[in-house]
Amino acid sequence: MTTATLVPSERQATGWFEDWLAEHGVPYGVADTRPTSPWSGDDQPPVAKTVTVIDDQANPHLLVFDAGACLDLDAAARALKCRWLTMLAGPDRPQRVMGRQLEPLPPVPELCGFPVHADEELRSSLTLTLHGTAGRLLTFSRAVWEREAGIRYFRLATNCSESTEPIEWY
């Protein structure tokens, strides 16, 4: 699950992110994941995902972690010095507003409007890849993004196979 928001189709969030990457000198590339893409099956690059959470003071945070990991809300709350965090979800959002598309939030505080934190496991990656719009993957330099966006690392996620508590959906 990747956190998304509704944005006007004439200026998509990943377009803003691509512009930001270029303006800040962050090396990046765009790949198409549709059937004509060079990426297929196991060959696809490792992908990160973003999730928006709200803390106990009603402050939003965008969390970035490996797509194969599970968000550990308890560990993330401790890292962000909160009593608890609530994950925002809304699979019905695309049907609410006509003429707009569901877009991923860009993992940059000045673009999404609130703090962005990354899982410490991502720190060892040379690049990060996020899903963009219309079946595109956006791959960028992790270190330059970290420096330019002021990203802080915390333990936010865990290996899903090591999770001891069931995931509950309300």
In a domain, 167, yes or no: no
In a domain, 137, yes or no: yes
Q: Left, alpha or beta for 54 (phi > 0: left; psi -120 to 50: alpha)?
A: beta
In a domain, 169, yes or no: no
Q: How many domains does the chain have?
A: 1
Domain of residue 72, residue span: 4-35+46-162
Answer yes or no: are the C-beta atoms of 129 and 45 closer than 8 Å.
yes
Alpha carbon distance 9, 40 (integer Å): 28
Residue 103: per-residue pLDDT: 64
Average per-residue pLDDT in the chain?
A: 78
Answer yes or no: are the C-beta atoms of 104 and 2 closer than 8 Å.
yes
Q: Is the pLDDT confidence value at 74 over 70? A: yes
Residue-wise pLDDT for 97-112, tens only, equals: 223 455 678 899 998 8
**What distances in angstroms separate CA 98 from CA 3, 91, 135, one per listed residue?**
19, 15, 20
In a domain, 40, yes or no: no
Residue 152 φ then ψ, to 5°: -115, 145
Which domain CATH number covers 129?
A: 3.90.960.10
Residue 101: per-residue pLDDT: 52
In a domain, 150, yes or no: yes
Q: Closest by alpha carbon to 142, among 153, 133, 132, 134? A: 153
Tokens 């608890």 found at? 84
Q: Is the pLDDT confidence value at 93 over 50? A: no
In a domain, 170, yes or no: no
Residue-wise pLDDT for 102-148, tens only, equals: 567 889 999 889 999 999 999 999 999 998 766 788 999 999 999 99
In a domain, 125, yes or no: yes
In a domain, 158, yes or no: yes
